[in-house]
Amino acid sequence: MNVSPTEITHSELYGILLNSVAPRPIAWVSTLSAAGRPNLAPFSFFNALCVDPPLLGFAPGLRQPKQGDGSHGEPKDTLRNIRETKEFVVNVVTHDLLQPMNVTSGEYDPSVNEFELAKVTPLPSRLVRPARVAESPVSFECKLYQILDFSPAPTSGSLVIGEVVSIHIDDAHIKNGRLDRNSLDLIGRMGGIQYTRTADRIELARPKVG
């Protein structure tokens, strides 16, 4: 079977991408609006992009337009807040946080405080205004580096790139002065409504060449 992206529906292409490009890490992004309203939402189009400078990137899509309004869809609260304030925090998601994270995935009114809705604790950040999630073992404070906007269609979105300016690590996950990767029971996003745990791991050394 061979398919061309231009010859299948958006839904079919979306399904192929999400079911095969997986598991995807989840950025649980906390932001503040210009008026100071907190927001917390998850995004699975997310990854580390660079170490020097330290860059993280995630891609929020547009909210689907209301039927008959003629618009191309509205920016999600997270994207709008970052455009306004140029700051955000990426919190990692563990198995224990799967349900609270899912609660925050709804398209709520901007007045809704997802920290309260999900019953997670906001903690002050060190260098940015948005709070971090206290229950997350690792949180990255970010300043906006760049936003790449794609075509203005209802199925489109943007790539948000942030420069990490401060990292919070729960001391319970520090071993011999370093982050203990084996202690992080992280969650990955699969296709549809499926998630996976990353606790089952395989160690594989790279081949030595030369």
User: If you average pLDDT over each of 65-69, 100-104, 108-112, which comes out highest?
Assistant: 100-104
Q: What is the pLDDT of residues 45-64, one digit of tens each?
A: 999 999 999 999 999 987 76
Q: What is the pLDDT of residues 26-42, one digit of tens each?
A: 999 999 999 999 999 99
- In this prediction the pTM is 0.93
State the average pLDDT over residues 148-158: 79
Residue 4, pLDDT above cutoff 60: yes
Domains detected in the chain: 23-197 (2.30.110.10)
Q: What integer pLDDT is reported at residue 64 of this predicted model?
A: 66
State the average pLDDT over residues 117-125: 98
Q: What is the pLDDT of residues 72-106, one digit of tens each?
A: 567 889 999 999 999 999 999 999 999 999 999 99
Q: What integer pLDDT is reported at residue 199 of this predicted model?
A: 86
Contact, 100 vs 120, CB < 8 A?
yes
Residue 5, pLDDT above cutoff 70: yes
Residues forming beta bridges with residue 51, ordered by sequence position:
54
Residue 177: other Cβ atoms inside 10 A: 5
